[in-house]
């Protein structure tokens, strides 16, 4: 029996601008991803049954069949390589589901890495990237992780200078926000603002969110200068306004983190996690204590420069598989 265990790290978005809706139904975005030291653990065990995929998880609300991204990732690999055996995958979740931290996507990326190692596949980086793109917009980022600029659907990734060691406080409000719903609100804004004299351009898509209050270049420059204070001042997420309108509690959390000494605070992705950047761990833990007293689950963590990490491995060549 061969087995392997991988840590799959979460992400936050230091910047997220939504530029336009694409012809394929997705949105064109510009974002800066940052991996953080919060991870799920995935355990892979090879089995004899041909193409059999079994997924277990300690989170009761996570689907385990074909709707699960880990299952879909495994299925892609088995179909591409016509593998002779199967796999059992156990997911130990620590990353909140529906929190804007990329838990499903990082688990999917870790599955691609895990099965490539488990079955010792000759899979090029380009092939691996192609499989990741089929699974989700931000899955490709998690193949490398660290600090990166994402464009296109979020799947065109360019690594950036690593962020210096930075303390983050995550506040988890106890509910999730639908990514689909959050982006639909931007479409509604476009439709309301589209006048008779301002018709869509010929490709059917209008760049309806041209006014920017922040710039991705400022974030990049702050990272390059290792200036976390300036970085905190220029965090930006286009989705916040509409999400906060429906969930004002999230805006209150953000304001509380700033009052508690965060140099910046932001909603990650489409929410619902709100994170704050703190100049020192002591200050972050003080803020964490305050938020816990208000009934929130909190986590003090820091950035990391990887999307996954091999925890342990027992891979044996087995001709009968």
**Quick one: pLDDT at residue 158?**
95
pLDDT band with cut points at 50, 70 and 90 for residue 320: very low
Annotated catalytic residue 138 = yes
Other residues' Cβ atoms within 10 Å of the Cβ of residue 316: 9
Q: Which residue's structure tokens are 């006014």?
A: 211
262-304 pLDDT tens trace: 999 999 999 999 999 999 999 999 999 999 999 999 999 999 9
pLDDT band with cut points at 50, 70 and 90 for residue 315: low
* CA nearest to 102, candidates 297, 273, 246: 273
Q: What is the chain's mean pLDDT, rounded?
A: 88
Q: Which residue's structure tokens are 């996690």?
A: 273
Among residues 11, 21, 144, 254, which one is catalytic?
A: 11
**Quick one: pLDDT at residue 150?**
96
Position 62 pLDDT exceeds 90: no
Annotated catalytic residue 11 = yes
Give backbone dihedrals phi and psi of 84, rounded to 5 degrees, phi first.
-75, -20
SS3 216: helix
CA dihedral 271, 243, 152, 157 (to 10 degrees): -30
Other residues' Cβ atoms within 10 Å of the Cβ of residue 64: 15
Choose between 189 and 112: higher pLDDT. 112
pLDDT band with cut points at 50, 70 and 90 for residue 4: very high
Segment 125-144 mean pLDDT: 94
Segment 84-93 mean pLDDT: 94
Among residues 21, 40, 93, 138, which one is catalytic?
A: 138
- Write the secondary structure of 82-95 as one string of H (helix), E (strand) and C (coil): CCCCEEEEEEECCC
250-263 pLDDT tens trace: 999 999 999 999 99
Position 55 pLDDT exceeds 80: yes
Give the percent of the chain with pLDDT over 70. 88
User: Across 93-246, where does the E strand assignment appear?
Assistant: 147-151, 156-159, 167-172, 236-237
Q: CA of 140: how far to CAs of 44, 183, 304, in Å?
A: 20, 20, 17
**Quick one: pLDDT at residue 316?**
57
170-222 pLDDT tens trace: 999 999 999 889 888 876 665 555 443 343 333 333 444 444 446 899 999 99
């Amino acid at each position: 029996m061969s087995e392997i265990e991988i840590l799959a790290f979460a992400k936050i978005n230091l910047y997220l601008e939504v530029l336009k809706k694409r012809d394929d139904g997705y949105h064109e975005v510009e974002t800066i991803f940052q991996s953080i030291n919060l991870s799920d653990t995935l355990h892979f065990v090879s089995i004899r049954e041909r193409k059999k995929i079994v997924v277990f998880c300690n989170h009761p609300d996570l689907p385990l069949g074909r709707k699960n991204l880990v299952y879909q990732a495994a299925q892609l690999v088995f179909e591409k390589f016509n593998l002779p055996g199967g796999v059992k995958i156990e997911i130990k979740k620590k990353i909140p589901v529906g929190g804007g931290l990329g838990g499903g996507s990082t688990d999917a990326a870790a599955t691609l890495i895990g099965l490539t190692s488990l079955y010792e596949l000759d899979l090029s980086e380009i092939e691996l990237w192609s499989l990741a793109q089929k699974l989700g917009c931000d899955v490709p980022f998690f193949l490398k992780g660290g600090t990166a600029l994402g464009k296109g659907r979020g799947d065109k990734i360019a690594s950036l200078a690593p962020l210096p060691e930075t303390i983050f406080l995550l506040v988890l409000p106890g509910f999730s926000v639908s990514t689909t719903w959050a982006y639909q609100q931007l479409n509604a804004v476009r439709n309301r603002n589209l006048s008779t004299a301002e018709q869509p351009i010929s490709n059917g898509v209008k760049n309806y969110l041209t006014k920017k209050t922040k710039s991705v270049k400022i974030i990049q420059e702050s990272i390059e200068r290792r200036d976390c204070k300036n970085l905190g001042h220029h965090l930006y997420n286009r989705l916040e306004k509409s999400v906060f309108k429906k969930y004002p509690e999230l805006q209150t959390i953000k304001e509380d983190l700033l009052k508690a000494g965060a140099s910046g605070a932001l909603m990650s992705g489409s929410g619902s996690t709100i994170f704050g950047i703190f100049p020192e761990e002591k200050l972050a833990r003080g803020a964490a204590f305050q938020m816990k007293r208000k009934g929130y689950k909190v986590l003090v963590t820091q950035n990391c420069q990887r999307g996954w990490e091999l925890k342990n491995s027992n891979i044996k060549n087995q001709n009968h598989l």
